[in-house]
Amino acid sequence: MPAHILVGTQWGDEGKGRIADWLASQADIVARYAGGDNAGHTVRVGDETYKLHLVPSGVLHPGVKCIMGAGMVINPLTLASELRALAAQRVDISPNRIQLSTRAHLITPVHRAIDAAREAQRGQRAIGTTMRGIGPAYVDRTAREGLRAGEMENPDIFARRMRARLEAGNQLLADVYQAEPVPLDSALAELCEAASFLAPYLGDSSLTINEALEADKTVICEGAQGTLLDIDHGGYPYVTSSSTIAGGALTGLGFGPRYVDRVIGVAKAFTTRVGSGPMPTELHDEAGARLRGTGANPWDEFGTTTGRPRRTGWLDGVMVRYAARINGLTELVITKMDVLSSFVDLKIAEAYQLNGQMVRHMPSELDDFAACEPVYETVPGWPEDITGVRTFDSLPGAARRYIERIEALVNVPVSLITVGPARDQSIQRR
């Protein structure tokens, strides 16, 4: 009956999709619990590249059931085209293995337009959202005015209610933001087409998951974004609008904590961030550019969803320790270790300096967080290429010590290390 929860420990883009793909090979169900098509990752299997934004990574493992849970916000147009693209790549997308919770909320083109209008209005204080309409859709959910996926079951009712939501959103766009309305008839026609395509996928996913857990099946709860983007415990207001942390898996999928046996945190071996907001270990020098890469490789640090270059910096041990606390991590996965090869020295922030004081915990106030200066510990790098290494003992001594230092700082064991983009480029530790 185990549920394993997989979360990001930084600002997203830690490589969770790849780890979910790996865990899926031993699972029965992979379920996404929060967010929407603001997330994105690329999985390479052999010569084929798959781009996923909404469908859980388990879809690439035949026999694994994939669920999009109630905590998600779903753009029907994106989901329909993602499923069609997977089908074109000969992935089995039959409704008996893919389920969309009737309780998930829907994103409309009007939500996207409001997202853009709000960002424009924020000016200098813009969050740097992905413009996918995520925030406005969660606003409607909390205001109890949203449309849920279950509405797609009945085409006539769906068309009527969707029209009313689009009209109300257009009114808001005009009155509050003086922005262009979304063309109503064409948007509605597209949404209705997508709704009829998606209707067979609808189901009560809390029931599906609880029945599976009762039957001793293994469920992977796949988080999106990262702990620092969590609506409650992230760096508010520079966050996304959902519960990205382990607790969000329970509310977003509708099952209880007694089933959870592993909480796996994924941390990149350094730090990246897209969007605005403070980032204590950010680098603006040649080292930062080296961590980012040029964009020539698919694994370089450029957003999968928006293509934006990511901000880069040294590993922030204070942040990963915070993520260990907020999520109750039982283990850590360190990704992209190979990118650190050939730096002479590496730095890890072990604490912050705030107003002349040394602090070891993330401050809860944004102004304090913005004023934090990292206190670095410098550790030796390693010149060797480690992309071919498959056991911990064969790693260069400095790389082993880097991992052991993270374990000591965060007080959580590292169970897996990735050393390259391919499925087998990883070191399983325990």
73 binds ligand IMP, rule: CB under 6 A: no
Does residue 276 contact residue 343 with C-beta atoms inside 8 Å? no
CB nearer to ligand IMP: pick between 226 and 247:
226
Q: Which stretch binds ligand IMP (CB under 6 A): 10-18, 20-28, 169-177, 180-188?
A: 10-18
For the CB of residue 227, give the shortest distance to ligand IMP in the complex, in Å: 12
Rounded to 5°, angle at Cα 172 from 168 and 178: 140
For residue 374, what is the enclosing H or E element?
Answer: strand 373-380
| Percent of the chain that is helix, strand, coil (3-state, to 5) | 40, 20, 40
- The SS3 call for residue 72 is strand
For residue 380, what is the enclosing H or E element?
Answer: strand 373-380
Q: Which of 2, 95, 128, 203 binds ligand IMP (CB under 6 A)?
A: 128
Say whether 13 is catalytic.
Answer: yes
374 binds ligand IMP, rule: CB under 6 A: no
274 binds ligand IMP, rule: CB under 6 A: yes
For the CB of residue 231, give the shortest distance to ligand IMP in the complex, in Å: 10
Q: Which stretch binds ligand IMP (CB under 6 A): 176-184, 185-193, 222-230, 384-392?
A: 222-230
- 430: burial class by Cβ within 10 Å (0-12, 13-18, 19+)? exposed
71 binds ligand IMP, rule: CB under 6 A: no
Say whether 41 is catalytic.
Answer: yes
For the CB of residue 333, give the shortest distance to ligand IMP in the complex, in Å: 17
CB nearer to ligand IMP: pick between 134 and 419:
134
Q: Which stretch binds ligand IMP (CB under 6 A): 132-140, 151-159, 330-338, 358-366?
A: 132-140
Rounded to whole angstroms, the Cα distance separating 283 from 347 reads 11
| Dihedral angle of Cα 381, 387, 391, 395, to the nearest 10 degrees | -20
Phi-psi region of 158 (alpha: psi -120 to 50; beta: other; left: phi over 0): alpha
Rounded to whole angstroms, the Cα distance separating 17 from 224 reads 9
For the CB of residue 119, give the shortest distance to ligand IMP in the complex, in Å: 9
13 binds ligand IMP, rule: CB under 6 A: yes
Alpha-carbon torsion 344, 342, 271, 266, what sign?
Answer: negative
Alpha-carbon torsion 385, 389, 393, 399, what sign?
Answer: positive
312 binds ligand IMP, rule: CB under 6 A: no
Residues 4, 13, 53, 233: which is the catalytic one?
13
Q: Which stretch binds ligand IMP (CB under 6 A): 11-19, 92-100, 278-286, 370-378?
A: 11-19
For the CB of residue 331, give the shortest distance to ligand IMP in the complex, in Å: 22
In the chain, the amino acid numbered 370 is A
In the chain, the amino acid numbered 349 is A
52 binds ligand IMP, rule: CB under 6 A: no
Q: Which of 57, 108, 129, 327 binds ligand IMP (CB under 6 A)?
A: 129
127 binds ligand IMP, rule: CB under 6 A: yes
Q: How far is CA 378 from CA 86, 347, 350, 398, in A?
A: 45, 5, 10, 12
For the CB of residue 35, give the shortest distance to ligand IMP in the complex, in Å: 7
For residue 24, what is the enclosing H or E element?
Answer: helix 16-24
Rounded to whole angstroms, the Cα distance separating 157 from 177 reads 29
132 binds ligand IMP, rule: CB under 6 A: yes
**N-terminal to C-terminal alpha carbon distance within the chain:** 21
Of all residues in the shown chain, the one whose CB is closest to ligand IMP is 275
9 binds ligand IMP, rule: CB under 6 A: no
Residues 4, 41, 111, 233: which is the catalytic one?
41
218 binds ligand IMP, rule: CB under 6 A: no
Site string for ligand IMP, 238-257 (x = CB under 6 A): x-xx----------------
Active site residues: 13, 41
Residues at the interface with ligand IMP (CB under 6 A): 11-13, 38-39, 127-130, 132, 134-135, 224-225, 229, 238, 240-241, 274-275
